[in-house]
Every structure is written in structure tokens, then in C-alpha cells.
Amino acid sequence: MAATESTTTSGSGSSCSTDSGPGDGPLDALLTAIGWLPGRQGVPSGAAPATFLAAPPTPAAAPAAPAAPPAAAKPSSSPVVGRIAAGEPRVRLICLPQAGGSAGTFSSWRGHLPPGFELAAVDLPGRGTRGAEPLPAGLGALADRLADALAPELGMPYALFGHSLGALVAYELAVRIERRGLRPPLALLVSASRAPHVPVTARVSGRDDQALLAWLTAIGGIPQDLLRYPAYLRHALRVIRADLGLAERYHAPDPVRVRTPLHVFGGTEDRLVPADQLARWSACAAGEHTLTLLPGGHSYPYTGAPAVLAAVAALPALAQENPQKEAVR
């Protein structure tokens, strides 16, 4: 069955100059291929039999108008971009990216979705389709905004998945969902992140571009092919730096223990967040919690998408809600 796309792309507030000019074919092709789109948002084609799904109903879009200054831009009605499902969706997987990431970061998952799962990847403010929206000064304020915006997405069984910075955001989002009495997630899945109560030991957001880029390269946090586009890279580093600052300012000395099952994931070769650090998430769980290590470094969710999605689909709460007999593609 052919994939049908129902999302529109937007460059409002997210345009940037590149060495070959905006809309440069090779750069756009690279960004689409790797799904690493902090400044542009492209939606790659999904692999059959996956199907792009429409976002929750919204009023018809008005004809395109000249770009307004960022201060005048209004938040998007939904932060979910390019949702896609494998067959009839039974479980929605709401995914939050790492520092500098966007909804497009999860593009490598689209061809490996287990049957019955919907991928609902989130664009945070300051990138992709939400490039004109300022990033909140604190992670708590960001979680508040997401809890408001994602409320319509919680009508079906769902799980929250957050990678690196996204793990901290997913945790705070789960806390707010519980406090507001909203439908709780089947599971909270946190990946490659320090636990909320663990202080930051090394701050990198204040480093200059060269030093920050060296650090990102060392942890495998940036695609090497982007080094060929220094102007775009400078733009991307601004987004990454802002996100890292947000993460570095966040600390919850006495974390709330979430009632939803908490499953922690990490890469066996991740030097940034090794297994002993991942184990400290147990202090955030009121009940069921597990720790799973999968092959790869800090970017293992994207380099090893099939293994990650297979592990997610096998979690008891998700498997019970989505009893599928087909093998993961």
C-alpha cells in the first residue's frame, strides 16, 4: 500500500543561509536522508506498508503569506510532525528528540515500525516546523507547554519515548500528565540520559563552536557529512547550544516517582551515559522499572532502529495492548 503524506512542511522562522544557498539540493538531500533537521523540516517518504496519518482535525490552512517576524509567530496547533503508522494503529509512540534534534530525527524508525504502532514524533520549539517559537528558559516550562499541546494526542493507548534531552522532557511530561489526571502512558521510555536528580558534571553549552563541535563529534552526536556545510552547521550549533543549556540548568534533587512503568534504555558503547548512570533512574519509579542495553553508542536509537523498536514492542504493557503476531519488519 502506498504511503500518503498529510503533513505540510514549513520554513517559517527556520530558514538559514547555507554555503550553497537555501534549498540547496545536496544539503537538503543529506538532511532528509539522515533525518537530522534542526533548522529545516523535511518529511521523508515512508516505506510501505506504513501510512502517513492526518493530525487531529484543524481548520483549513490559509494561503501562504509573507513570513512574519519570529515575535509575531503563533505556536503550532500540534507539535507532532509527519506521523506514520504500520497498519491499524493500536499504540501511539510519542517521541521526543535529543538536543538539536527535531521530529525528523526519528525518520530512520519509519521503515521498521512494528505492526500496530503509530510514530508521533515531536518538534520542540526553535526548530523544524516550530522554528519561529522561542525555546522556554526552563525545562519545566517546556514540559508545561507540551502537556497542553499534546493533550489531544492522549486519547488512544500511548507510550512516551525520549532520547537524551528528550528523556528528561518525557519524564517531566509524564509527571504533569499524572498531576493533571490525564490518561497516563502505557510506559515511560527514557534513553541515554542522566537521571533528573543527578547533577551535571560537565557543562558544554558555553564552549565556543569549535570546542562544542569537537565534543559532539567525540560522542557521535553529529553527522560527519554536515561538516561539509559550515554555514548550516553554525546555525545547527546555535540550536544545539540552546538545548544543551536547557538540559544543564535542569536538576530535580527530589524527583517525583512516576506510577507508570519506567523503562530505561542505553547503548552498550555510550561513553556519555554509561550503564551505572542509567541505573540511577530507578529513583524515579514508583513501580515497575527495567534497564535495557542495546548495541551502539549515544546515537544507538538511530543507528540500530530495528533492535530498539523490537525491544519497545516487546515490553509487556505495549505487547498486551497491541497483540500482533507478525514479525517486526
pLDDT value of position 254: 96
CA-to-CA distance for 294 and 318, rounded, in angstroms? 19
What are the φ and ψ backbone dihedral angles of 91, each rounded to 5 degrees? -130, 130
User: Which residues, 6+ apart, have CB-to-CB distance to 143 below 8 Å?
Assistant: 169, 172, 173, 175, 176
DSSP state of 109: G
CA-to-CA distance for 42 and 8, rounded, in angstroms? 9
Residue segments in the chain with a per-residue pLDDT below the cut of 70: 1-76, 324-329
> What's the first-to-final CA gap in the chain, in angstroms?
15
The residues with which 250 forms a beta bridge, in sequence order, are none
pLDDT value of position 326: 44
pLDDT value of position 321: 86
Catalytic positions = 164, 298
- pLDDT 10s digits, 200-216: 988 999 999 999 999 99
pLDDT value of position 307: 97
Q: What is the pTM of this model?
A: 0.79
Three cell numbers written together for 96: 521526543
Output the 3-class SS for 261-325: CEEEEEECCCCCCCHHHHHHHHHHECCCEEEEEECCCCCHHHHCHHHHHHHHHCCHHHHHHCCCC
Distances (CA, A) of 179 to 22, 63, 176, 186, 205: 44, 39, 5, 16, 32
Burial of residue 198 (number of CB atoms within 10 Å: 0-12, 13-18, 19+): middle
pLDDT value of position 231: 83
Distances (CA, A) of 145 to 75, 127, 136, 141, 328: 10, 15, 9, 6, 34
CA-to-CA distance for 89 and 105, rounded, in angstroms? 21
